[in-house]
């Protein structure tokens, strides 16, 4: 195994994680990526390798950040949980209590639980919406507030690919007086000494990896467009290479434009999974990961389970993960989770977006190597 292609540090007992990471490059699965692991709050794996652009003119560095797509949803879930702990939000109460305009068109009883479990009927808009409207926040949020649900709230689950972030974050913004990007920076990232951007400052733009639309990455968009509730990929349709524009990076799209390195995600999840979390107490975490939905996600025609925004009971965490494991994956491969029983926070961040019907082999190799070493 050619470990010389991998940079960074790791505890000796996690040598096979480095081997697994290197194999992803050697087998042509990877272009540029990073993997990190915390155990008991200590960073024990911090590895990176490859290139941060398609042309291979920029090496992936320790401070390279990537668009982690729906891994952002897990960070939003943490932000909402923190506001619930503070008594500013309530999972069970109607969103219209703090966002009065949202009550339009029969939505007065939709709660945060509906939003966080992708069962609200607001998986996407039925009116034209441009990328610029999405980036501007208000046009998109106002359209969501005005729309009629696409199905009876609570009846079905269909992945809220982009709307989840705005629907969960607008109530948070209203009760905290901060944008979601500000809240994540000030209340989540800074207390842990790390960085997670929902809206990348122009000064940090040079650190961002170029996202590569790899084999099969965009297949899921067509799959959703052919599903019973295609709105998740409409108005506007997600574009794999959108994060390579300054407009996308600058915007706050909490359903999918978070930027960070693997170290940040592993640190955040490791903290939440710990008994001495700086972000939330164990009761708050337990409530956030309590099942809200178990059943079929009609977007993908696959079984799924959601807590309050976190994916739970998911096969991506592997057979050795505890049933308390929680996290979220991102389009193309990026993945992060916390396992309270094992006391770990794990993250894999990549620019090479792949699509595999049976799961991403990179993720499988890395997670299996982690649990084999514990």
* pLDDT tens track for 308-364: 999 999 999 999 999 999 999 999 999 999 999 999 999 999 999 997 656 799 999
Residue 335, strand partner residues: 329, 348
Do 8 and 142 share a domain, yes or no? no
- Closest CA relative to residue 244, chosen from 161, 162, 353: 353
Strands (E), 24-127: 32-39, 42-50, 66-67
Length of the chain: 374
Q: Which CATH number do you get for residue 147?
A: 3.40.710.10
pLDDT at position 357:
55
Identify whether 304 is part of a domain: yes
Give the domain-ending residue among 42, 64, 86: 64
Number of domains observed in the structure of the chain? 2
| Containing structural domain, residue 41 | 1-64
Return the SS3 of 330. Answer: coil
Show the DSSP H helices in 86-201 as ranges: 112-116, 131-135, 138-146, 163-176, 180-183
Do 79 and 2 lie in a common domain?
Answer: no
Residue 31 belongs to some domain of the structure: yes
Q: Are residues 44 and 100 in the same domain?
A: no
Distance CA 353, CA 235 (A): 22
Both tokens of 296, joined, read 């079929």
Same domain, 165 and 280: yes
Whether 120 and 39 map to the same domain: the answer is no
Both 82 and 57 in one domain: the answer is no
Number of other CB atoms surrounding residue 222 within 10 Å: 12
Please report whether residue 323 resides in a domain.
no
In a domain, 368, yes or no: no
Q: Roughly what angle, to the nearest 10 degrees, separates helices 15-26 and 361-373?
A: 170
One domain, residues 39 and 102: no
Instruction: Name, in order, each residue with C-beta under 8 angstroms of 28's C-beta and a sequence gap of 6 or more.
Output: none
Q: Is residue 324 part of a domain?
A: no
- 3-class DSSP state for residue 77? helix
What does the DSSP 8-state code read for residue 94?
Answer: B
All residue ranges of the chain with pLDDT < 70 are: 1-4, 356-358
Q: What are the tokens at 82?
A: 């923190």
- Does 16 lie in the same domain as 82? no
- Looking at residue 358, what is its pLDDT? 60
Are both 303 and 154 inside the same structural domain? yes
H or E segment at 124?
A: none
Classify residue 357 as exposed, middle or buried by CB count within 10 Å of its CB (0-12, 13-18, 19+): exposed
Locate the DSSP E strands across the chain: 6-10, 32-39, 42-50, 66-67, 197-198, 212-213, 258-260, 293-297, 302-306, 311-312, 326-329, 335-339, 344-350, 352-353
User: 21 and 114, same structural domain?
Assistant: no
Out of 301, 317, 333, a domain closes at 317
Is 74:273 a contact under the CB 8 Å cutoff? no
* 108 occurs within a structural domain: yes
Q: Name 206's Cβ contacts closer than 8 Å, sequence gap at least 6.
A: none
Q: Is residue 335 part of a domain?
A: no
Identify which of 372, 300, 352, 255 has the alpha carbon closest to the alpha carbon of residue 362: 352
Whether residue 267 lies inside any domain: the answer is yes
Query: Is the same domain home to 153 and 261?
Result: yes
User: Domain check: are 283 and 183 in the same one?
Assistant: yes
Indicate the residue among 317, 348, 368 that finishes a domain. 317
């Amino acid at each position: 195994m050619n470990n010389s292609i991998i940079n960074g540090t790791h505890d000796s007992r996690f040598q096979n994680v480095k081997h697994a990471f290197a194999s992803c490059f050697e087998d042509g699965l990877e272009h540029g990526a990073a993997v990190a692991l915390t155990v008991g709050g200590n960073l024990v794996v911090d590895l990176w390798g490859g290139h941060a652009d398609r042309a291979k003119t920029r090496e992936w560095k320790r401070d390279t950040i990537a668009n982690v797509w729906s891994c952002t949803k897990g960070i939003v879930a943490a932000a909402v949980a923190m506001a619930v702990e503070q008594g500013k939000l309530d999972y069970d109460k109607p969103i219209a209590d703090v966002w009065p305009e949202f009550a339009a068109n029969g939505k007065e009883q939709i709660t945060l639980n509906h939003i966080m479990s992708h069962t609200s009927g607001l998986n996407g808009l039925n009116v034209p919406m441009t990328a610029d409207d999405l980036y501007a926040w208000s046009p998109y949020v106002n359209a969501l507030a005005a729309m009629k649900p696409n199905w009876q709230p609570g009846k079905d689950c269909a992945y809220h690919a982009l709307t989840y972030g705005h629907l969960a974050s607008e109530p948070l913004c209203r009760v905290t007086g901060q944008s979601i990007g500000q809240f994540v920076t000030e209340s989540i990232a800074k207390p842990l000494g790390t960085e997670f951007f929902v809206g990348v400052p122009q000064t940090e733009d040079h650190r961002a990896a170029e996202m590569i639309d790899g084999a099969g990455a965009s297949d899921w968009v067509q799959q959703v467009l052919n599903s019973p509730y295609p709105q998740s990929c409409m108005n506007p349709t997600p574009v794999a290479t959108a994060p390579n524009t300054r407009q996308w990076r600058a915007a706050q799209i909490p359903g999918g434009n978070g930027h960070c390195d693997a170290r940040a995600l592993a640190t955040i999840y490791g903290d939440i999974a710990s008994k001495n979390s700086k972000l939330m107490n164990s009761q708050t975490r337990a409530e956030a990961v309590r099942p809200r939905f178990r059943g079929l996600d009609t977007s993908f025609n696959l079984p799924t389970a959601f807590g309050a925004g976190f994916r739970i009971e998911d096969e991506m965490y592997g057979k050795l993960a505890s049933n308390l494991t929680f996290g979220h994956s991102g389009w193309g491969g990026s993945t992060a989770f916390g396992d309270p029983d094992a006391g770990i926070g794990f993250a894999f961040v990549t620019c090479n977006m792949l699509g595999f019907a049976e799961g991403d082999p990179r993720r499988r190799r890395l997670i299996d190597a982690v649990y084999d070493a514990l």
